[in-house]
């Protein structure tokens, strides 16, 4: 039976980063993975979704080019080509991850890992003992509960859907639902999106939520809030969706994007004595230890912040504690994020509502405008930018944007927030002209 210093279960972003960093610090490391390396992000999440988002922008880009003097026959979209090229790129990335692990000296074990006891893991009949075990098995889509729900697909199946759906129903109002609604709308599908709440993107700033919903509607997404599916059944020419208000929608495919759950089933957690929390995630302390101190967990399986860069940061903090100085800590404050809707959302820091709860008196700066590009493109797309400022200290608490390349723009401002930038620092910064980003340093008058 092999003995290692660290056994990592799961070859996604968190697991691969932890295994590599630990091995590079001299630890004997093994990593077990039954599927493709890279986890959700590489195979069924961030990367393929962003590639499809790029593809979806090209259709409107052709229409917008007419205002700049371009003309000619409209291009046609080939779904099979996009799927094939995406698959080739993902396979390349799978190979990159394998080379990184092997190059760092990680023992790569192919197969499903199950905890036999607190220090022994069984992988396809082979047993391995570990001084430390790290669970980084990520999460998976969860299906809603209604009659006919088995006819719906999840985000996992969406990338290779066949045939291309001319009519698509998206259930959900989170970032995954909104992104896929925008993507398929941009690729030419007639998209209906249903959300049971009053507004999509719960947890984001309310101004951002309302603005992006309106922009998605202008681009053609039929967004229906306060709406829920009652039943789903096959019809002669597609799938018939009956809503709880009695209305019906006929579509070619239904995408259920109603949340994700931690991957904990079949891991043998009970045999090792590992406890789950009330949400069904693995319960860990501030240093990612479970109730069994030498068994740790990071990433989506602990369900703190389900973002790839967060999983990577958790991995670095954990490895530093195990095999380094122990000074590195995970800070969940001011984590920037983007939603690749059309147009994009970029945000970092507190929403206006969160800031009012914590700080009281605020100054809010808000600017809405038509970007320079669209003065000739004839597109009606608009951009929204918003700053949330603590009136007592002048510190900028939140930066929020809806508009082209919002994620790219907000990433830089995330550094400023992390450094504790004040509104005066924003005001004294010279803008880059003409850009949309300069609006963040030229807003002078707070809104009422």
Of residues 32, 185, 21, the one with CA closest to residue 114: 32
Of residues 403, 441, 398, 423, the one with CA closest to residue 206: 398
Answer yes or no: is 332 within a domain: no
Answer yes or no: is 331 within a domain: no
- What is the pLDDT, as a whole number, of residue 448? 85
Percent of the chain predicted with pLDDT > 70: 100
Where does the pLDDT of residue 2 fall: very low under 50, low under 70, confident under 90, or very high at 90 and above?
Answer: confident
Question: Last residue of a domain, which of 323, 354, 369?
Answer: 323
Other beta carbons within 10 angstroms of residue 346's beta carbon come to: 26
Instruction: Express each pLDDT in 274-329 by its tens digit.
Output: 999 999 999 999 999 999 999 999 999 999 999 999 999 999 999 999 999 999 99
* Burial state string for 169-205 with b = 16 or more CB within 10 A and e = fewer than 16: bbbbbbbbbbbbbbbbbbbbbbbbbbbeeebbbeebb
Residues 293 and 396 reside in one and the same domain = no
Q: Is 433 a catalytic residue?
A: yes
- What is the pLDDT, as a whole number, of residue 31? 98
Mean pLDDT of the chain: 97
Residues 71 and 166 reside in one and the same domain = no
Residues 129 and 153 reside in one and the same domain = no
Tell me the C-alpha distance between 108 and 98, whole Å.
8
- What is the pLDDT, as a whole number, of residue 1? 53
Average pLDDT over residues 405-427: 98
Q: Which pTM value belongs to this model?
A: 0.97
Residues 57 and 165 reside in one and the same domain = no
- What is the pLDDT, as a whole number, of residue 229? 98
Answer yes or no: is 422 within a domain: yes
Other beta carbons within 10 angstroms of residue 387's beta carbon come to: 25
Tell me the C-alpha distance between 258 and 245, whole Å.
20
Answer yes or no: is 330 within a domain: no
The CATH number of the domain holding residue 244 is 3.50.50.60
Residues 210 and 154 reside in one and the same domain = yes
SS3 56: helix
Question: Last residue of a domain, which of 258, 283, 310?
Answer: 258
Question: Last residue of a domain, which of 293, 323, 353?
Answer: 323
363 — phi, psi (to 5°)? -120, 130
Residues 168 and 243 reside in one and the same domain = yes
Answer yes or no: is 125 within a domain: yes
Domain span at residue 181? Answer: 149-258
- What is the pLDDT, as a whole number, of residue 391? 97
Residues 412 and 344 reside in one and the same domain = yes
Residues 9 and 134 reside in one and the same domain = yes
Tell me the C-alpha distance between 160 and 84, whole Å.
9
- Distance in Å from the first CA to the final CA of the chain: 69
Residues 319 and 394 reside in one and the same domain = no
Average pLDDT over residues 417-434: 98
Where does the pLDDT of residue 360 fall: very low under 50, low under 70, confident under 90, or very high at 90 and above?
Answer: confident
Answer yes or no: is 390 within a domain: yes
Residues 182 and 108 reside in one and the same domain = no
Residues 19 and 124 reside in one and the same domain = yes
Residues 180 and 205 reside in one and the same domain = yes
Where does the pLDDT of residue 224 fall: very low under 50, low under 70, confident under 90, or very high at 90 and above?
Answer: very high
Percent of the chain predicted with pLDDT > 90: 98
Tell me the C-alpha distance between 380 and 218, whole Å.
8
Q: How many domains does the chain contain in total?
A: 3
Answer yes or no: is 328 within a domain: no
The CATH number of the domain holding residue 358 is 3.30.390.30
- What is the pLDDT, as a whole number, of residue 125? 86
Tell me the C-alpha distance between 124 and 362, whole Å.
58
């Amino acid at each position: 039976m092999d003995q290692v210093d660290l056994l990592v279960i799961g070859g996604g972003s968190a697991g691969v980063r932890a295994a590599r960093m630990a091995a590079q610090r001299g630890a004997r490391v093994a990593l077990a993975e039954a599927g493709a390396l890279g986890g959700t992000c590489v195979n069924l999440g961030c990367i393929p979704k962003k590639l499809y988002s790029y593809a979806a922008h090209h259709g409107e880009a052709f229409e917008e080019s007419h205002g700049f003097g371009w003309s000619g026959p409209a291009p046609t979209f080939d779904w099979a080509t996009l799927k094939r090229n995406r698959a080739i790129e993902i396979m390349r990335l799978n190979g990159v991850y394998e080379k990184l692990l092997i190059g760092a000296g990680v023992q790569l074990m192919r197969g499903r890992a199950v905890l036999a006891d607190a220090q022994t893991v069984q992988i396809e009949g082979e047993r391995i003992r570990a001084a430390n075990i790290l669970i980084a098995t990520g999460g998976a889509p969860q299906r809603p509960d209604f009659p006919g729900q088995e006819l719906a697909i999840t985000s996992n199946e969406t990338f290779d859907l066949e045939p291309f759906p001319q009519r698509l129903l998206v259930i959900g109002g989170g970032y995954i639902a909104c992104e896929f609604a925008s993507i398929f709308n941009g690729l030419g599908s007639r998209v209906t999106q249903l959300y049971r709440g009053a507004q999509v993107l719960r947890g984001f700033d309310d101004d951002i939520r309302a603005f992006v919903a309106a922009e998605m509607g202008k681009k053609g997404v039929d967004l229906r809030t306060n709406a829920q599916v009652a039943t789903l059944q096959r019809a002669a020419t597609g799938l018939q969706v009956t809503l709880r208000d009695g209305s019906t929608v006929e579509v070619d495919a239904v995408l259920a994007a109603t949340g994700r759950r931690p991957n904990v089933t079949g891991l043998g957690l009970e045999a090792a004595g590992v406890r789950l929390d009330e949400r069904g995630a693995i319960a860990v302390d501030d240093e990612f230890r479970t109730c069994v101190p030498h068994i740790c967990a990071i990433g989506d399986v602990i369900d703190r912040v389900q973002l790839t860069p967060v999983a990577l940061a958790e991995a670095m903090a954990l490895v530093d504690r195990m095999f380094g100085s122990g000074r590195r800590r995970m800070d969940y404050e001011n984590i920037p994020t983007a939603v690749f809707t059309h147009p994009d959302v970029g945000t970092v820091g507190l929403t206006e509502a969160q800031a009012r709860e914590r700080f009281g008196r605020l100054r809010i700066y808000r600017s809405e405008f038509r970007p320079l590009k669209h003065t000739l493109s004839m597109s009606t797309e608009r951009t929204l930018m918003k700053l949330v400022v603590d009136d007592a200290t002048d510190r900028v608490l939140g930066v929020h944007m809806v508009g082209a390349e919002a994620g790219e723009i907000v990433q830089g401002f995330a550094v400023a927030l992390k450094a504790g930038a004040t509104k005066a620092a924003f005001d004294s910064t010279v803008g880059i002209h003409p850009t949309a980003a300069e609006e963040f340093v030229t807003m002078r008058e707070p809104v009422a």
